[in-house]
């Protein structure tokens, strides 16, 4: 199986790949810039080239870039939406330096405007970005399944489907994907502990299983349906180790890259990567 974790991007691409190898990871996730927003560091072409060569040689990838948390395409204030649009555009341009990467973002929070308005704002932004990009990005863009905290959009599969439909119907050739966060879907009410197969059947019916491109592997501090979004270490939360054994062996998930976002330091991540791999049969 392919497993890795979220890493600090402060040392650049090559440093992240080296760190990944040092903890037994095959993949990694990183923030494109400060998670609370702000400008990204300029692309260091020498670092990117060294990374690409190193990643190829060590079998690292696909890498998953995570948009900042402050990116809210469904915000009420124009300045919030403009920040979301210009940031995603800039991120996608930068990711062209590392072809084949994936880009994950939280669809947004409608902040009281209602889910319908939120969905329209999010797909509207995506359409304008793809339009302005001028060609199909080499990056696969993923909507993350959300816990439904506050006014988060993407709290169920239907909302994701609606964003996908409204985007793809207005722009030719674009195909959006989904990143399934185990903590978020659990907190959102989906019973991945007792009925993982049923949840994936539902995902397939509503969104289409071929849209699923990545898994955020996180246990949850809270009970199912809590809409809290508090990540816990694997096996230490309400999802539990038995469920993760099913998750990593599920035929519809096991070929996907798994990215840990648990409250761990590097040593902790190294142990959790080994744990996930030991749970995966045949490894
Ligand atoms: Fe996320
Ligand atoms: Fe996540
Ligand atoms: Zn989360």
pLDDT tens per residue across all 283 residues of the chain: 999 999 999 999 999 999 999 999 999 999 999 888 778 889 999 999 999 999 999 999 999 999 999 999 999 999 999 999 999 999 999 999 999 999 999 999 999 999 999 999 999 999 999 999 999 999 999 999 999 999 999 999 999 999 999 999 999 999 999 999 999 999 999 999 999 999 999 999 999 999 999 999 999 999 999 999 999 999 999 999 999 999 999 999 999 999 999 999 999 999 999 999 999 975 4
Task: Report d(CA 283, CA 178) in Å as an integer.
Answer: 26
In this structure, what is the dihedral angle of CA atoms 90, 93, 94, 98, given to the nearest 10 degrees? 150
The tokens 């060294």 sit on which residue? 50
Q: Which ligand is nearest to the CA of 261?
A: 2
| Å from CA of 261 to ligand 1 middle | 8
Task: Report d(CA 139, CA 91) in Å as an integer.
Answer: 10
Give how far the C-alpha of residue 238 lies from the chain's centroid of Cα atoms, to the nearest Å: 21
Cβ–Cβ under 8 Å, residues 13 and 98: yes
Task: Report d(CA 224, CA 147) in Å as an integer.
Answer: 10
The total domain count for the chain is 1
Task: Report d(CA 233, CA 172) in Å as an integer.
Answer: 41
| Å from CA of 53 to ligand 3 middle | 32
Task: Report d(CA 65, CA 182) in Å as an integer.
Answer: 18
| Å from CA of 78 to ligand 2 middle | 26
pTM score: 0.97
Q: Which ligand is nearest to the CA of 232?
A: 3
Cα separations in angstroms, 223 against 145, 147, 183, 227: 17, 12, 10, 9
Q: Residue 212: what pLDDT?
A: 98
Task: Report d(CA 222, CA 229) in Å as an integer.
Answer: 8
| Å from CA of 146 to ligand 3 middle | 7
Q: What is the CATH number of the domain that holds 142?
A: 3.20.20.150
- Residue-range definition of the domain harbouring residue 91: 2-280
Cβ–Cβ under 8 Å, residues 256 and 214: yes
| Å from CA of 3 to ligand 2 middle | 14
């Amino acid at each position: 199986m392919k497993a890795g974790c979220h890493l600090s991007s402060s040392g650049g691409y090559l440093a992240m790949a080296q760190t990944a190898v040092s903890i037994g990871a095959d993949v990694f996730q990183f923030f494109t810039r400060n998670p609370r927003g702000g400008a990204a560091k300029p692309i260091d072409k020498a670092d990117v080239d060294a990374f690409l060569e190193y990643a190829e040689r060590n079998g690292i990838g696909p890498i998953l870039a995570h948009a900042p948390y402050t990116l809210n395409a469904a915000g009420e204030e124009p300045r919030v939406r403009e920040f979301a649009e210009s940031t995603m555009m800039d991120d996608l341009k930068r990711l062209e330096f590392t072809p084949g990467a994936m880009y994950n973002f939280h669809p947004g929070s409608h902040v009281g405007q209602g889910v319908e308005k939120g969905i329209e704002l999010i797909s509207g932004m995506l359409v304008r970005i793809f339009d302005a990009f001028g060609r199909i990005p080499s990056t696969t863009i993923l909507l993350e399944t959300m816990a439904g905290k506050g006014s988060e959009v993407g709290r169920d599969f239907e909302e994701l489907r609606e964003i996908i439909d409204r985007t793809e119907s207005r722009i030719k050739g674009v195909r959006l994907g989904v990143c399934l966060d185990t903590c978020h879907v659990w907190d959102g009410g989906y019973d991945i502990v007792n009925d993982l197969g049923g949840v994936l059947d539902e995902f397939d019916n509503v969104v289409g299983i071929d849209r699923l491109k990545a898994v955020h592997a996180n246990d949850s501090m809270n009970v199912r349906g809590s809409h809290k979004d508090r990540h816990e270490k694997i096996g230490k939360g309400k999802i539990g180790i038995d469920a993760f054994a099913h998750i990593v062996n599920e035929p519809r998930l096991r070929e996907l890259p798994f990215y840990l976002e648990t409250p761990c330091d590097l040593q902790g991540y190294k142990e959790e990567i080994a744990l996930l791999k030991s749970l995966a049969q045949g490894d």
